[in-house]
Each structure stands twice: as structure tokens, then as C-alpha cells.
Amino acid sequence: MQVLVIARVKAGISIDRVLPLVSAEAAQVWEFCTVEQIRQMYYIADMSGAVMLWEGESVESVTQETQKLPMVKEGILTCEVLPLKSYTGYASLFVKK
């Protein structure tokens, strides 16, 4: 199943707490990418966090995997985990009126 994860830096966290973990965070994300758990990843434009498209067995399994991210472990990031399903709205284009 595909799952959207929105990871945001918690309010009040200083950049001084974030910067030391950037390399470790990138290394963990790379590991998830190499085993095709994370399919796509983007920064949020204001750099307040990231958006990731995950592949997983369930929302719960993806949630467990996000707990392995160093910035989540250190209480710097919060992750919103949203299950996705295919968009079916295109079917309305073909309904006879």
C-alpha cells in the first residue's frame, strides 16, 4: 500500500538541534530508499520538513518504520502518516448524461 508521510520539525525546535542530525537522517532515508520503502521524497518548500511517499504493508508498519528516523527518535520531527488509494474521479468523465 502507498502511504504519504508528512514529517515536520516540531514548533520551537532550533536549527542547532536539527543540523547535527542531518547526515544520520539522510543515511537512514537512503536505507529506506534502497529497499524501496521510500519511493519519493521532497522537502516542504519552507524547509519546515519533508514529504515522503512510502510503500508498506500497512499504516502501522510505516508508522513503525518512521520511528527509526534519527530526528523522530530525538523528538525533533513529528510524522503524519496518511494511507492513500487510487483516484477514481476520472470515471466521472465517462458517465453518460
At 10, which CATH number?
A: 3.30.70.1060
Q: Could you report the per-residue pLDDT of 25-73, keeping only the tens digit for each?
A: 999 999 999 999 999 999 999 988 999 999 999 999 999 999 999 999 9
Domain count, the chain: 1
Q: Is the pLDDT of residue 77 over 90?
A: yes
pLDDT of residue 97: 73
Please give the C-alpha separations between residue 11 and each of 68, 74, 75, in angstroms, as whole numbers: 21, 14, 11
